[in-house]
Amino acid sequence: MEEKKTKENSIGVVETKYFTFAQPPNELLLDGGHKLGPITLAYETYGELNQDKTNAILICHALSGDAHAAGYHQGDKEPGWWDSMIGPGKAFDTTKYFVVCSNCLGGCKGSTGPSSINPINSKPYALDFPILTIGDMVDAQRHLIDHLGIKKLLSVVGGSMGGMQVLQWVASYPDRVKCAIPIATAAKHSPQQIAFDEVGRQAVMADPDWHKGDYYGHSQPEKGLAVARMIGHITYMSDQSMEEKFSRRLKEKNYSFKFTSDFEVEGYLRYRGDNFVKRFDANSYLYITKAMDYFDLSGDKLIPIGKKIETRFLVIAFQSDWLYPLYQSQDIVRQLKIRHADATYCEIKSTYGHDAFLLEIAEETHLIKHFLDKTFLGYNVKRI
Question: Does residue 357 lie within any of the structural domains?
Answer: yes
What's the Rg (C-alpha) of the chain? Answer: 21
The yes-or-no verdict on residue 318 having pLDDT over 70 is: yes
**Residue 257 exposed, middle or buried by CB count within 10 Å (0-12, 13-18, 19+):** exposed
> Looking at the structure, do residues 49 and 139 belong to the same domain, yes or no?
yes
> Looking at the structure, do residues 157 and 282 belong to the same domain, yes or no?
no
Q: Which of 115, 288, 280 is nearest to 213 (CA)?
A: 115
Q: Give the CA distances from residue 10 to residues 20, 60, 90, 92, 93, in Å, rounded to whole numbers and listed in that order.
A: 29, 20, 9, 12, 11
pLDDT of residue 2: 33
Q: How far apart are the first and last CA of the chain?
A: 30
Q: Give the CA distances from residue 350 to residues 28, 160, 162, 313, in Å, rounded to whole numbers and listed in that order.
A: 41, 16, 20, 22
> Looking at the structure, do residues 26 and 163 belong to the same domain, yes or no?
yes
pLDDT of residue 126: 98
pLDDT of residue 1: 34
Residues present in the chain in total: 384
**Residue 95 exposed, middle or buried by CB count within 10 Å (0-12, 13-18, 19+):** exposed
Residue 382: pLDDT band (50, 70, 90) is low
Per DSSP, the three-state class of 173 is coil
Distance from C-alpha of 53 to C-alpha of 45, rounded to nearest angstrom: 14
For residue 378, give every residue at least 6 positions away whose Cβ sits within 8 Å of its Cβ, in sequence order, or none.
none
Strand partners, 59: 101, 157
The yes-or-no verdict on residue 383 having pLDDT over 80 is: no
pLDDT digits (tens, 9 = 90+) for 3-47: 334 456 789 999 999 999 999 999 999 999 999 999 999 999 999
Q: Which CATH number goes with the domain that contains 153? A: 3.40.50.1820
The yes-or-no verdict on residue 379 having pLDDT over 70 is: no
pLDDT digits (tens, 9 = 90+) for 158-201: 999 999 999 999 999 999 999 999 999 999 999 999 999 999 99
Question: Does residue 173 lie within any of the structural domains?
Answer: yes
Question: Does residue 204 lie within any of the structural domains?
Answer: yes
Distance from C-alpha of 300 to C-alpha of 326, rounded to nearest angstrom: 20
Q: Which of 322, 332, 330, 314 is nearest to 368 (CA)?
A: 314
Phi, psi of 315 (to 5 degrees): -100, 120
Distance of CA 81 to the CA centre of its chain: 10
DSSP string, 117-159: EETTTTEE-GGGSPP--HHHHHHHHHHHHHHTT-SSEEEEEEE
Domain region containing 277? 193-291
Per DSSP, the three-state class of 178 is strand
Provide the pairing of β-strand 56-60 with 153-159. Answer: parallel
Among residues 189, 281, 354, 355, which one is catalytic?
A: 354
> Looking at the structure, do residues 49 and 168 belong to the same domain, yes or no?
yes
Query: Which among 291, 324, 355 is the end of a domain?
Result: 291
The yes-or-no verdict on residue 70 having pLDDT over 90 is: yes
The yes-or-no verdict on residue 381 having pLDDT over 70 is: no
The yes-or-no verdict on residue 378 having pLDDT over 90 is: no
Among residues 64, 102, 160, 284, which one is catalytic?
A: 160
pLDDT of residue 377: 84
160 catalytic? Reply is yes
Residues of the chain with pLDDT > 90, as a percent, come to 95
Distance from C-alpha of 97 to C-alpha of 272, rounded to nearest angstrom: 34
> Looking at the structure, do residues 50 and 171 belong to the same domain, yes or no?
yes
pLDDT digits (tens, 9 = 90+) for 225-276: 999 999 999 999 999 999 999 999 999 999 999 999 999 999 999 999 999 9
Q: pTM for the full model?
A: 0.95
369: how many CB neighbours lie within 10 A of its CB? 17
256 catalytic? Reply is no
Query: Which among 259, 291, 323 is the end of a domain?
Result: 291
321 catalytic? Reply is yes
CB 289 within 8 A of CB 282: no
Among residues 321, 329, 350, 355, which one is catalytic?
A: 321
Q: Output the average pLDDT for the chain.
A: 95
Number of domains in the chain: 2
Query: Which among 291, 309, 341 is the end of a domain?
Result: 291
Distance from C-alpha of 344 to C-alpha of 357, rounded to nearest angstrom: 17
Angle subtended by helix axes 161-172 and 282-294, to nearest 10: 50
pLDDT of residue 5: 40
Question: Does residue 11 lie within any of the structural domains?
Answer: no
CB 195 within 8 A of CB 161: no
DSSP string, 70-128: SSB-TT-SS--TTTTTBSTTSSB-TTT-EEEEEPPTT-SSSS-STTSEETTTTEE-GGG
Mean pLDDT of 321-349: 97
Q: Which CATH number goes with the domain that contains 232? A: 1.10.1740.110
> Looking at the structure, do residues 126 and 242 belong to the same domain, yes or no?
no
127: how many CB neighbours lie within 10 A of its CB? 14
The yes-or-no verdict on residue 216 having pLDDT over 80 is: yes
